[in-house]
Structure 1
Amino acid sequence: MKKNLIFKLAFVFNLYFTGLLSARAQDVLNVLKINSAKELHNFFTFTGNDILIIAGHRGGMVKGFPENSVATFENTLKHTPAFFEIDPRLTKDSVIVLMHDATLERTTTGTGKVSDYTYAELLKFRLKDAEGNVTDYSIPTLSEVIEWARGKTILNLDHKDVPLEMTAAIIRKHHADAFVMLTVHHPEQALFYLKNDKRSMFSAFIRNRKEYDDYVKAGVPFSQLIAYIGPQVKPENKELYDLLHQKGAMCMISAASSYDKLKSADERKAAYVNMAKDGASIIESDYPIETAEALKDLINRKSPKSRFFGKSGSN
């Protein structure tokens, strides 16, 4: 009888302990270990011996997980290391929140313009996933997301309606220039940010030779930018790869408006592989988990940049 009880208790304890370990394993995130602006610049420097980098466009598009939300970022990091392009917008009371559209209908249970609501008013709405399903998640502030991202990943702030001064100020307030970078659509925006913080890192629109020449003439340091060269693989990319790689700048292609629209997973996989083989160092996608799986055999695991990749809770 006593032996039977001991056996049952041991069995129950084993189930509990195994379940606890399983739960903890599920919470492990793939993180980017970057501790300073200098390390951020080095992480994105093209050397020819780099690790292919995945960027989650708005975090990613997975059923049950809305774009521009911490839950989605965490879900992506459970599967792959990545950085995230996100969309700050301004509320009526000047709180910076994450929202791609100027209006609420597509991604929330609200209606009308984001800028017509205070942040407190926006909190009563719930976010929708890409299929329109209502979730339990609310609209996050940029400050919340910056603090969540610290020690985990890199945020790339697109430019919507938030004044450049406010964007620079919030990065400064959070001491976040080691892991927050800025999308700039022309050199003048980059120069503004550099006046505020000479260590700023950029994702710059450089889609052709003229735009490349504009950045050269403006004196924006190529050691502090990645170049978004467009949404497609095309012959003209070759010139940009050569010019930008000589400057030490990585090139990014975004599949969000192009190859992510292909209907089958096999078609998308072939497109992602083709982007990497074309020469892109960074591939941005609405489906970062799927993209990472498609490209796993192309990862250069012997790169010195392996030091920047780790797991949460590990050294």
Structure 2
Amino acid sequence: MTAQVRFEKGKTVVVSHRGDWRNAPENSIQAIQNCIDMGVNMVEIDIKKTKDNVLILMHDQTLDRTTSGKGKPEDYTLAELKQLRLKNGAGVLTTHTIPTLEEAMLVVKGKIWVNIDKGYDFFADVKKVLEKTQTTQQVIIKSGLPFETVNEENKEVVKDLYFMPIVDANRPNAVTFVEDYIKNLHPQAFEVCFQKKDAQVEKVLNLIQASGAKVWINTLWPSLCGGLNDDRAVEKNEKDQVWGEVLKMGASFIQTDRPKELIEYLRLNNKFINNSGYVRKNLLDRNQSYVHVVAHRGDWKHFPENSLDAINSIIEMGGDVVEIDVQRTKDGVLILMHDETLDRTTNGHGIIAETMFSDIQKLNLKDYEGKLTNYKVPTLKEALLLAQGRIMLNLDKSDRFFNQVVDLLKETGTLDIAIMKGLHPLADVQTKFGKYLDDVIYMPMIRLDNKGAEDAMVEFVDGMSPVAFELGFNEVTNPLPKKAVRLINYQSLIWYNSLKGRNGGHDDVISLENPDAGFGYLIDELGARMIQT
């Protein structure tokens, strides 16, 4: 996630204001979870402190508008506040309760960025919560106070957390305000507010971007953005005149009350930070200008292979696809595991197909060094729901359970994030899986060293025109890898695995020493547009 927000050039971060408040109470756990499910990049929340010094999520100075209570939150203990119920956007009471900042951070951990607003007076307490929940690297704090004040009052906090100054670009001192921060703190972003767009606003924006910092613009209501607001974009169908104009101004962050519509707009304009919809469009368009990064079994060097956290880590990195392996338990539950036995990757023993899921649930996963961890074996359903709207999944070893997998994809609404594959000849694919191929991307796997590989490839090109081919070879002298580019002739994307020892040594290992000899060779010489690494 850090890489996406800080380094993905030309893309724009969608920040949802107070969560998905149109469909859940603002600043509620459900409003945050909705944003995660929607594929929003960042959620903005507001905080207050209780009588017993607990940080909670709330925007107003009083409880009156958003809860069943009255008065100031600081006059109540957390236990007392937990008895209240939150109101939705229409002012109707719900069953949702006021969350603590700690509760919220545990929900978002590793899943979505958070912008904490109205927290300046509690910066030190915020830092303690983030350190406790291990979420310091996915939070942006902010203030509209000048650098001198922030440095005097919160120097240690600002040093350790991502801090964003808020500048009113129409104020006479706006340029000096920005210059002081650039000179002394080098912020990675500025939140820029303006009631009208004038020459000074342009100067402020240029100054920020020239420093290497990013621009954050709020399209919430007219006075924050010179009339370039969400309701105008959506209700008057002036998306280009509003969001398009904000993009021209250099916005790398847009805080919005219309996250769903903004995501759709950015996706259509190739500006949305990587998610499954954008990757799927690239695949279906056979986009030859983009190379997709596929993570083999997730981030297995930092988390157990095929674990939910291994998948989540790749989402945070900005990967395009995660390859996972599917097995089925004795009682028919689809789980994530590469081997057919439990021995290598868990503290269990035996064949998965002969083991009940309830027994597998009791096991723990091992890391790549064989050390036991606290992580559990995930189900395929859990992985699909985690990845939904965020990244695509390549479901390896799943063609054995094709019907069941497709039923699960339909149940979870994740048909659009799945890539299925197999070594089956064209006739078998059409017979066994034909009725699913309008919904699910199916990728033939061709071993180029095998007899008949060229004929098999030509058959698939002519008979199916797959979105992609997974190709592989070991023989250095094999002429077919280069010939394959001409045979496929841009009708499909080419996938290569750069795993150790593959493709005549053009692999991950050599790529660490000489990227041109590894990744570069696969891309430039063999036409790879998907690389599993």
Name the TM-score class by shorter chain: 0.7 to 0.9
Q: 3-state DSSP class of the match of 2:142?
A: strand
1:123 to 71, 74, 82: 82
1:62 to 5, 15, 22: 22
- Relative to the length of structure 1, the TM-score reads 0.75
Distance 1:272 1:297 in 2: 12
Structure 1: 5+ residue stretches without partners: 1-32
**1:303 Cα deviation (Å)?**
10
The amino acid across from 1:54 in the alignment is V
Structure 2: 5+ residue stretches without partners: 223-228, 275-289, 294-314, 321-383, 394-533
Distance 1:309 1:299, change over 3 A: farther
1:271 to 242, 258, 271: 242
* Structure with larger Rg: 2
1:241 and 2:202 matched: no
Q: Check conservation: 1:233, 1:278, Cα contact below 8 A.
A: no
**1:249 Cα deviation (Å)?**
0.9
1:158-169 residue pairs with structure 2 within 5 A? 158-160=117-119, 162-169=121-128
2:99 to 140, 157, 176: 140
1:230 and 2:193 matched: yes
Distance 1:107 1:190, change over 3 A: farther
Aligned residue for 2:490?
Answer: none
Distance 1:197 1:106, change over 3 A: closer
Distance 1:291 1:93, change over 3 A: same
Q: Per-residue CA shift, 1:259-310, capped at 9, x if unaligned?
A: 2354952346342232223322211112212222233222346699995366
**1:244 Cα deviation (Å)?**
0.8
Q: % of aligned pairs identical?
A: 25
**Coordinate RMSD, CA, aligned:** 3.0
Q: Per-residue CA shift, 1:243-262, capped at 9, x if unaligned?
A: 11111111111112322354
Q: Which moved more, 1:90-99 or 1:173-182?
A: 173-182
Aligned residue for 1:23?
Answer: none
Q: Check conservation: 2:50, 2:76, Cα contact below 8 A.
A: yes
Aligned residue for 2:69?
Answer: 110
1:205 and 2:166 matched: yes
1:69-88 residue pairs with structure 2 within 5 A? 69-88=28-47
Q: Check conservation: 1:61, 1:67, Cα contact below 8 A.
A: yes
Q: Per-residue CA shift, 1:29-65, capped at 9, x if unaligned?
A: xxxx34xxxx5xx7335x8x321111111113313x0
Distance 1:255 1:202 in 2: 21
Distance 1:79 1:134 in 2: 24
**1:96 Cα deviation (Å)?**
0.5
Aligned residue for 1:30?
Answer: none
**1:195 Cα deviation (Å)?**
2.0
Distance 2:69 2:120 in 1: 19
**1:130 Cα deviation (Å)?**
1.2
Aligned residue for 1:156?
Answer: 115
Distance 1:167 1:51 in 2: 29
Q: Check conservation: 1:96, 1:162, Cα contact below 8 A.
A: no
Whose RCO is larger (CA < 8 A, sep 6+)? 1
Distance 2:120 2:176 in 1: 27
Distance 1:173 1:220, change over 3 A: farther
Q: 3-state DSSP class of the match of 2:247?
A: helix
Aligned residue for 2:221?
Answer: 257
The amino acid across from 2:117 in the alignment is D
Distance 1:281 1:165 in 2: 28
Q: Check conservation: 1:90, 1:162, Cα contact below 8 A.
A: no
Distance 2:175 2:203 in 1: 10
